[in-house]
Amino acid sequence: MDQPGLILFITPPSAFTAYTGTKINAGVQHYPLLSYMYLSSYVKKFGFQTRVLDLGIEKNPWPLLAKVLRKMRPRVVAMTCTTPLFYEVRLIGMIAKAILGDSVTVVQGGIHVSALPEESLTETMCDAVIFDEGEITFHEICNGSPFENILGIAYRSDKNRRVVLSADEIINDIVNGKPLYEIEGVQDDPQGREIRRNLPRPLMSNQELDALPFADLDLYDIYRYKNPKLIARGYPMIQMETSRGCPFHCNFCSADDAYRVMSPARIVKEMEEFKRRGIKEIRIIDDQFATNMKRAKAIFELMLKKGLKIHMNLANGVRADRLSAELLKLGERAGLYQLGIGFESGDQVALDSMQKGLKDGVTTGFKCMEIIRKTGLETVGFFMFGAAGDTEESINRTIAYAKALRPDYAKVTISTPFPDTRLYADFKRQGLIKSKRWDLYNIHRAEDVYEHPNGLKPEMLRFYYNLFYSEYYLFNWPYVWRRFLKSVKKGTIFYDLWYGLKTFCPRLIPGDPRSSIHLKPIFLYHELKRKILGKNPSGQVSSDYVNK
């Protein structure tokens, strides 16, 4: 690739439906992907043109994909891949190669392919897999550097792999309901297979993170992403990161061990830019925003000094032992309104088996809620069933613990050994992994993918998962009463009833961004502008574009 060419980021169709139909059906979220926004702004610096196709919010995504590829003929197709999306990412790569042949370079990054590069290079038509942080590596790929010279990738150095189905055949199979993992079509000669794995690229330092360009707001049509009030109060909302990695080592988690941070000055500058561009809420997705409490405090203080107030949500979870009332009150003044806390379990044996590093977890949890209650912040408590040390008794203890902690919202998930985690490595060593059907790996579905060391069966976990939600939200009169009073006071009774219905009758009202109805005038205004006037100043490609 000697000339800058078009780079097309693609989000797979099921990107946001992992939670549809589960007990968090009411809180199905969708937003521009931060990975693409960072990669995009980085390569744009060097003159590359980027677009995004978000199949997660498009109707008839697969035929649309083919139309877009035929019309735009990108030189690079770039995709991020979480574990459950592996088959979709694979099919998108196959369709791209079937349509564009070797003129397109298919690149995958993200947690799943970083963990399983060989699989990604034999079962898919991907040319290169990028490990860990992608900005610099991706630029080198787009720039046409020879693969052997690029740190942090694995790639095929042979040409012994081809796609044997046509794009239309693949799409027909998908549209006709053939299970995605059964659609084969990559012919690979194992004898002639040459997979090369280059040395890793050193992770960026704090200074290098600071020097990254701001996430590319021009890539997406941000007004297309309207979330339920449970997810965001402000619209449009955007995600933001202020650090990468996490210094703790919970065995179920995919976070990188190398914790690095951006400086308060850079973070607040980016926030100011977001606000100037019309963003009304920032969702901070850091694994560990408050590990360094001094830094977290400095961020809020700087926001206050600059008079920057914006809705903020620390949604991804803060550790129960990394909080103080002073920090939270500062945050509240700067616009923070909600935070998630990973309590995980009411049983110390289960907590220890997660390698959570919380010595007296239950007491820490109560202390943490005491601190939060000194503020007006909303809390989401995260709990987990099925840790290696869990038993039916410990699960029951966790349900009681959640009720005693009284967060505003409580979410339970099922411990799942994602392939990049220590839990997976442990289970694999013990012969407990039963299935590598990656689409079944989902923390809200309790599928039969592994054998639990204490004999907890998937149906038991499903039973307790459902029990948790009814015990917490329905048969918990103090909670129902508190919620009712709050709803009346805040005038949100209509929303709360609607969310209740969505949670407990998911078949009636599926939480799919493609079928949600939004009546907010500013949303309707932007939809109208896009659909009728065909005005879309962003880099987002949609069905309007191909039908023009």
User: Which chain residues interact with ligand SF4 by CB under 6 A?
Assistant: 246, 248-250, 253, 255, 287-288, 317, 319, 342
Q: How far is the CB of 243 from ligand B12 (least distance, A)?
A: 9
Quick one: 516 exposed, middle or buried, by C-beta within 10 A (0-12, 13-18, 19+)? middle
Q: How far is the CB of 246 from ligand SF4 (least distance, A)?
A: 3
In angstroms, the CA 367 to CA 337 distance is 20
**Between residues 382 and 472, which has the closer beta carbon with respect to ligand SF4?**
382
Compute the C-alpha angle 265/226/16, nearest 5°.
95
Among ligand SF4, ligand B12, none, what binds residue 365 when CB lies within 5 to 8 Å by partner kind? none
Out of 78, 104, 126, 230, the residue judged to bind ligand B12 by CB under 6 A: 78
Neighbouring C-alpha atoms within 13 Å toward the C-beta of 31: 24
- What are the structure tokens assigned to 248, written together? 């703790």
E strand segments, 359-467: 378-385, 409-414
In angstroms, the CA 309 to CA 282 distance is 11
**Between residues 317 and 417, which has the closer beta carbon with respect to ligand SF4?**
317
Residue nearest to ligand B12 (CB): 109
Stretch that binds ligand B12, among 72-80, 259-267, 389-397, 508-516 (CB under 6 A): 72-80
Q: How many residues touch ligand B12 (CB under 6 A)?
A: 41
Question: Across-strand partners of 243?
Answer: 261
In angstroms, the CA 77 to CA 126 distance is 9
Cα distances from 46 to residues 43, 72, 130, 218, 262, in angstroms, run 5, 21, 19, 16, 23
408 phi, psi to nearest 5 deg: -65, -40
418 touches ligand B12 by CB under 6 A: yes
Out of 58, 420, 496, 512, the residue judged to bind ligand B12 by CB under 6 A: 420
**Between residues 286 and 476, which has the closer beta carbon with respect to ligand B12?**
286
Which 201-240 positions form the footprint of ligand B12 (CB under 6 A)?
239
Out of 241, 344, 439, 512, the residue judged to bind ligand B12 by CB under 6 A: 241
**Between residues 234 and 342, which has the closer beta carbon with respect to ligand SF4?**
342
Q: How far is the CB of 147 from ligand SF4 (least distance, A)?
A: 32
Among ligand SF4, ligand B12, none, what binds residue 39 when CB lies within 5 to 8 Å by partner kind? ligand B12
**Between residues 213 and 500, which has the closer beta carbon with respect to ligand B12?**
213
Out of 10, 25, 38, 217, the residue judged to bind ligand B12 by CB under 6 A: 38
In angstroms, the CA 97 to CA 106 distance is 8
Q: Per residue in 226-245, is it b (16+ CB within 10 Å) or e — as a string?
A: bbbebbbbbbbbbbbbbbbb
Which 39-58 positions form the footprint of ligand B12 (CB under 6 A)?
39
Among ligand SF4, ligand B12, none, what binds residue 411 when CB lies within 5 to 8 Å by partner kind? none
Q: Per residue in 490-514, is it b (16+ CB within 10 Å) or e — as a string?
A: eeeeeebebbeebbbebeebbbbbb
414 touches ligand B12 by CB under 6 A: no
Stretch that binds ligand B12, among 108-116, 262-270, 429-437, 520-528 (CB under 6 A): 108-116
Under 8 Å CB-to-CB from 328, ≥6 apart: which residues?
Answer: 336, 339, 371, 372, 374, 375, 377
Among ligand SF4, ligand B12, none, what binds residue 248 when CB lies within 5 to 8 Å by partner kind? ligand SF4
What sign does the CA torsion over 516, 439, 180, 40 have? positive
Among ligand SF4, ligand B12, none, what binds residue 84 when CB lies within 5 to 8 Å by partner kind? ligand B12
Among ligand SF4, ligand B12, none, what binds residue 22 when CB lies within 5 to 8 Å by partner kind? none
Among ligand B12, ligand SF4, none, what binds residue 342 when CB lies within 5 to 8 Å by partner kind? ligand SF4
405 phi, psi to nearest 5 deg: -70, -35
**Between residues 217 and 246, which has the closer beta carbon with respect to ligand SF4?**
246
In angstroms, the CA 475 to CA 58 distance is 38
18 touches ligand B12 by CB under 6 A: yes
Among ligand SF4, ligand B12, none, what binds residue 109 when CB lies within 5 to 8 Å by partner kind? ligand B12
Asked if 82 contacts 111 with a C-beta cutoff of 8 angstroms, the reply is yes
217 phi, psi to nearest 5 deg: -75, -15
Asked if 341 contacts 317 with a C-beta cutoff of 8 angstroms, the reply is yes
Out of 82, 124, 227, 394, the residue judged to bind ligand B12 by CB under 6 A: 82
532 phi, psi to nearest 5 deg: -90, -45
Among ligand SF4, ligand B12, none, what binds residue 319 when CB lies within 5 to 8 Å by partner kind? ligand SF4
341 phi, psi to nearest 5 deg: -125, 130
In angstroms, the CA 78 to CA 83 distance is 16
**Between residues 16 and 473, which has the closer beta carbon with respect to ligand B12?**
16
**Between residues 165 and 209, which has the closer beta carbon with respect to ligand B12?**
209
Query: For ligand B12, what does the binding mask look like between residues 249 and 268, x meaning CB under 6 A?
Result: ----xxx-------------
Q: Which of 329, 313, 335 is nearest to 228 (CA)?
A: 313
**Between residues 340 and 407, which has the closer beta carbon with respect to ligand B12?**
340
356 touches ligand B12 by CB under 6 A: no
Calculate helix-pair angle for 135-142, 34-44, nearest 10 degrees. Answer: 50
Q: How far is the CB of 74 from ligand B12 (least distance, A)?
A: 12
336: amino acid identity, one letter:
L
Q: How far is the CB of 524 from ligand SF4 (least distance, A)?
A: 38
111 touches ligand B12 by CB under 6 A: yes
**Between residues 253 and 446, which has the closer beta carbon with respect to ligand SF4?**
253
- What are the structure tokens assigned to 52, written together? 């995004």
Interacting residues with ligand B12 (CB under 6 A): 14-16, 18, 29, 33-35, 38-39, 78-80, 82-85, 107-112, 130, 133-135, 138, 239, 241, 253-255, 285, 287, 316, 418, 420, 442-444
